[in-house]
Structure 1
Amino acid sequence: MPRPTLTAAQGMMNAMPDSPTTDAPLATYATAAQQRAYIAAMKKIRQARKPGEPVRVYVCASPHIARRRHWDERLAKIRHRLPGVQLVQFDDVFTPENYTEKWPELSPTFDGMVVVGTPKRGLQGHVYRLGEVARLEVIDLVKTGRPVLLHARRYGLIPFVDCKIHRVGENILRTKVTVPDGWDPSDYEPTLQAALRALRPRSTEAESHRGADAPSHLAHPFAAPPR
């Protein structure tokens, strides 16, 4: 069943301007100033989190992606990178009938978002498409400064700030998200590190400093994700 159209955020359509284009293979499409600002914002989120406070991350995915037989495996990879975080899916909190009414109420309770877009064929997993509803959900979280990350099968989690964002369509606006050609998940760009730290519960962070007695995924929060 198709997701209903969100109308509450229509006025924010221009909040995500097209990123400048470039032919050079880059690790990020963000400028140095944008990266510094993003890292500073993520640091404030992390410092403001109270010990024991739960962290909820909304997984934004279209129904046809969420119903694929490898979806649980995809969620496991996301969960591995966000230990201790509660992943919230559409069916956990919404129905197609109440979504439009409940989204403005529930979206402020999400500490961040992971977007699983549809890869565009023939482009080696670098370009992803977001539908109209996903586009508006992203705008709602981005405008509040909360971390929003794309999950690409080849590259893992990538902050939206590092991607190239391009609006497509006329009457119905959608979003095309391009992963930088030079993005290497083994390098862990500082923006990604900052976002992961911002989404780490304080209790998990405390356990990660206990040393060898801590579980491996907590003692090494930036360990390579399972492939």
Structure 2
Amino acid sequence: MFSLRRKTEMPAPGQALPGRDEPLATAERHFVNGRPLQGPYPDGMQLALFGLGCFWGAERKFWQAGEGVFVTAVGYAGGATPNPTYEEVCSGLTGHNEVVLVAFDPARLSYEALLKTFWESHDPTQGMRQGNDIGTQYRSGIYVFDAAQRAAAEASRAQYGRALAAGGYAPVTTEIVDAPPFYFAEDYHQQYLARNPAGYCGLGGTGVACQIGTGVAA
């Protein structure tokens, strides 16, 4: 019980693991499309950052989101430990979330379309868990890079929260905060389900449609 409680509570100041100064080694190129994983990205690309449960399945949702996605990568964000390892994140002592970084072309794919993918791909009412995956690293989160992203994210949360409530779901627990430092995860996590098609994916949506970006009032 103590271990479970620790994993579902953010570490108090001074409790977070120290981490390290140097970034972890990761893949150079995206396994699916061959593009540079860490950039530089072409001019005009924008970044989006989401946490919605185990990042293996979450990343696949976004690289399949449309031709406007230039590249995706998985990593850690939202905690206190610099350059954490996967094992450290799973300990519950970093405060980090498992997240997906999306570099996309806003002329071909809107941020609102990515938000729709985000909301419909998981259950954002579960707090520090997603299905059977339990811990702070599985929390629902949108990490925004500018005021326009924040406005769109907050509007979508309000809209989707109403739709979920109408379907009998609990209130949304998704955090929306300014994008923190992003730390690339280890090589073997990148595009994991493309490398391992039969691999684990615990991600599941609610079945409730998100109307943001469709022109339909929620």
* Fold conserved between structures, TM > 0.5: no
TM-score normalised by L of structure 2: 0.26
Structure number with the higher helix fraction is: 1
TM-score normalised by L of structure 1: 0.26
